[in-house]
Structure 1
Amino acid sequence: MRVAIISESFLPQVNGVTNSVLRVCEQLTRHGHEALVIAPGPGPAEWSGVPVVRTPSCPVPGYRDFRVALPFPAMTATLHEFDPDVVHLASPAVLGAQGATAAAELGIPCVAVYQTDLAAYAGRYRLGLAEAMVWRRLVRVHTAAARTLAPSRAAVRQLQAHGIDRVVRWGRGVDVERFRPDRRDESLRAAWAPGGQLVVGYVGRLAHEKDLGLLTAVQELPGVRLVMVGDGPQRRQLERQLDRALFTGVLTGDRLAGAFASLDVFVHTGPHETFCQAAQEALASGVPVVAPAAGGLLDLVQHEENGLLFAPGSAEELVACVRTLQHQPALRRRMGEGTRRSVEGRTWEAVGQELVRHYRDVVAEARTPHRRAAA
């Protein structure tokens, strides 16, 4: 197949949307499909054999490392020249809306992948956009798609509640070869926690919507060492607030895998996750997860089986969960044994094949005369 991927984010920006697009590109090229990425801002013009068309963009106020697409007049011409069978809209908003319009003009079916709770983010970053306004835009884009893929049951329900039809659950894969328990590094742990403390870690963007201030209470716990892996617009503020924590910056590849496996507990605090890939990578690494009982995390964390859930926004419950795992090592070990099993079937290979089946379905539907007439 020929697949045009229109993404609101791509390298050098590293986030959940970018990482998912990278894995999709890998799976498509590995199986002989052809792909093209269209993404905003400066960056590489090619990645892993996939050409990347860069479009105009501007930085987001308060988050200058993240860029938002500006109008791209050449969208229709770019799609026409590539002549895809299907257009993949990755977390569509501004650029995705342009892509959906152009695809409709050219008669190309679209698959829209919902990944980011943009309405919640708009409120967090005080962008002057009412949540209802953001949802109206998202509804228009997703309604124009032949199928919307949502990463979790909570995300499916959220989209359906706003009147979006043709929503199917499509999860995310995890690299179980890279993220695994035997990556645990005792020398790294000794450097992090020379006193033998319980190592509690967060991995991800250091940003307002993650509610990372809740970790203030965790760093105060006796016998606990808090490790923060990642970067983002809130880093300086958090370094002041979490003054007892260790900040590693961004880690990638095997260093990231080693960091995950060297934790005793992975903690996440964000209530707006449509999935949470970092939690899935922690589980693959054999690490119990403590997370808010909200959004996509409910699909990943089975309470008292592979982790513990707390009420979103409750520092008191978060601390209680960490204390439980700190003082009950047998429970922690039992959970650790179940974490890997909970994600072993979620490889990117399996997820990629499922995605291609969705592509083929919408292409077949678009070619069926009675469906075109009904549309």
Structure 2
Amino acid sequence: MPDPAALRIAHFSDTFLPRRDGVITSIRTLAGALGSRGHESVLFAPGYPDATPVGFPVVGLSSVPCGVADLRLATWPRSRSVERVADAAPDLVHVHTPGPAGLLGVLAAQRLGLPLVQTYHTDLHAYLEAYRIPTTALRVLLTAYRRRLGVDASPAPRRGLRVVRGAAGAWRPERRSAARGGLLDAANAAFFAGTDVVVVPTGAVLRRSALPVDPARIVSVPTGVAPRAVAADAGRGFRDRYGIPADAPLVLFVGRVNREKNVEALLAAVAEVAVALPTVRVALVGAVYEQRWLAGLLRTHGVGDRVVITGQLPAAAVAEAYAAADVFAFPSLTDTQGLVLQEAALAGVPVVMADSVLHAHGPLAGAAVCASGDGFAAAITAVLSDGELATRTAVACRTAALRHTPEAYGSAIEAVYRRALAERRAPLPLRATA
């Protein structure tokens, strides 16, 4: 006899395998943790020709390549798309991204009268700045979203001066971001309007972005990460495979090798580290979508002969990279959690990071070494040169990371779902749309 307390959750994401990123990892971890607690998950995501089985149902939505980072976007949601969601008979909707697939989740929750939970995984303001998304495109999208959601479709007011994060991690005024920031704030207001509970992965999110949501409806739940066992010689195998000398200090970065991850700051730092440690090597593990941009950075900083670029690797090979590393360097200033920070910490690798906000309010809770700008290289050099500092940092980081398990993640999100079910608000009035 089915458990009456068991839930069926419809998840919605605009990114999924074969791509790899933190949102995908979070969804897979959550579905597994919920499954162990007796709940069912079904994911609605853009369909890929080479879709990968994941152990729970995935509904591939009609999609088209968008020409950026091998990403496919679901086509614009229609009423028949909502009918597909209804066929899955969910008890609750959980939206993980704000693209067309996420929009379908919001529409489905409204039309089917279901509780709606959203996770704000991505610092969208930072991404808009990193890629300088044209304001004209944002205005068109905002109008389309508002009309589809049945809310006020009048143009968003233009904003004046806005404060955004600068390239070196400081906060600075930037007039060019004013319109983009205002449009994104308006889009978020429309997108979150009918949401019962908003989940943020860390407190860092709320210190960067003022979400247009009643604070009483916001909860912080970090994604849990489990330690991964590797063979005793895994690190040596990784070094041998990529021609990294056994005695060379190895700096590791894992993640998309893209501009929003502040990779240039890492390569600039490596050039400085090499002055004190001439044999230092760097491994960049992750997908590279802008080959020319990266090649230009390697030339500019003169570090091409000491940088290994592996591309995207399967999880087992990434675990070998952690086993080979002497320090994990994380220059990103845009991450809301950075699951790779926890992965590195659980592997026993000391972490050096550049983002002081995420350092203080992220999953490692101040355990890593933190320095940005000119101090980033010095911090990496210090950890590589001081065995006692490296050991102390590694132990502190691992202790912090062990607090955030997949089991704890599943339990916390289950509590969020129960709250959303108990406090479900009345659906928003909707227009009749095709």
Q: Could you tell me the TM-score, scaled by structure 2's length?
A: 0.77
Q: Matches of 1:183 and 1:296 in 2, distance apart?
A: 33
Q: 1:161-180 to 2 correspondence within 5 Å?
A: 161-165=210-214, 166-176=217-227, 178=228
Q: Could you tell me the percent identity over the aligned residues?
A: 29
Q: Which residue of 2 aligns with 1:352?
A: 410
- Change in CA separation of 1:8 and 1:295 when aligned onto 2, cut-off 3 Å: farther
Matched, 1:300 2:363: yes
Matched, 1:233 2:300: no
Instruction: Name which of 315, 329, 340 aligns with 1:253.
Output: 315
Q: Matches of 2:364 and 2:197 in 1, distance apart?
A: 27
Instruction: Name which of 92, 97, 106 aligns with 1:100.
Output: 106
After superposition, the CA RMSD in angstroms is 2.5
Offset, 1:210: 0.8
Could you tell me whether the CA contact under 8 Å between 1:283 and 1:340 is conserved in 2? yes
- Change in CA separation of 1:38 and 1:259 when aligned onto 2, cut-off 3 Å: same
Q: Which residue of 1 aligns with 2:401?
A: 343
Q: Matches of 1:206 and 1:39 in 2, distance apart?
A: 24
> Secondary structure at the residue paired with 1:201?
strand
Q: Which residue of 1 aligns with 2:129?
A: 123
> Secondary structure at the residue paired with 2:212?
coil
Show CA shifts across 1:113-150 (max 9, x none): 11012232223223313232122212222232100000
Instruction: Name which of 142, 147, 164 aligns with 2:192.
Output: 142
Offset, 1:45: 6.5
The higher-RCO structure (CA 8 Å, 6+ apart) is: 2
> Secondary structure at the residue paired with 1:8?
coil
Instruction: Name which of 203, 209, 214 aligns with 1:153.
Output: 203
- Change in CA separation of 1:114 and 1:100 when aligned onto 2, cut-off 3 Å: same
Offset, 1:157: 3.9
Q: Matches of 1:356 and 1:52 in 2, distance apart?
A: 20
> Secondary structure at the residue paired with 1:185?
helix
Offset, 1:346: 1.1
Matched, 1:205 2:256: yes
Could you tell me whether the CA contact under 8 Å between 1:79 and 1:103 is conserved in 2? no
- Change in CA separation of 1:238 and 1:46 when aligned onto 2, cut-off 3 Å: closer
Offset, 1:179: 5.8
- Change in CA separation of 1:46 and 1:206 when aligned onto 2, cut-off 3 Å: closer
Q: Which residue of 2 aligns with 1:275?
A: 337
Matched, 1:72 2:77: yes
Show CA shifts across 1:316-344 (max 9, x none): 21111111112212111221222221111
Q: Matches of 2:181 and 2:66 in 1, distance apart?
A: 17
Instruction: Name which of 212, 223, 239 aligns with 2:279.
Output: 223
Offset, 1:236: 4.5
Counterpart residue identity of residue 379, structure 2: C
Q: Which residue of 1 aligns with 2:265?
A: 214
- Change in CA separation of 1:132 and 1:265 when aligned onto 2, cut-off 3 Å: same
> Secondary structure at the residue paired with 1:149?
strand
Q: How many residues align?
A: 363
| More strand per residue | 1
Q: Matches of 1:268 and 1:234 in 2, distance apart?
A: 19
**Worse-matched range after superposition: 68-77 or 243-252:** 68-77
Counterpart residue identity of residue 267, structure 1: A
Could you tell me whether the CA contact under 8 Å between 1:56 and 1:71 is conserved in 2? no
Q: Matches of 1:182 and 1:340 in 2, distance apart?
A: 19
Instruction: Name which of 48, 60, 63 aligns with 1:57.
Output: 63
Counterpart residue identity of residue 300, structure 1: P
Q: Matches of 1:365 and 1:102 in 2, distance apart?
A: 18
Offset, 1:171: 0.4
Q: Matches of 1:20 and 1:42 in 2, distance apart?
A: 19
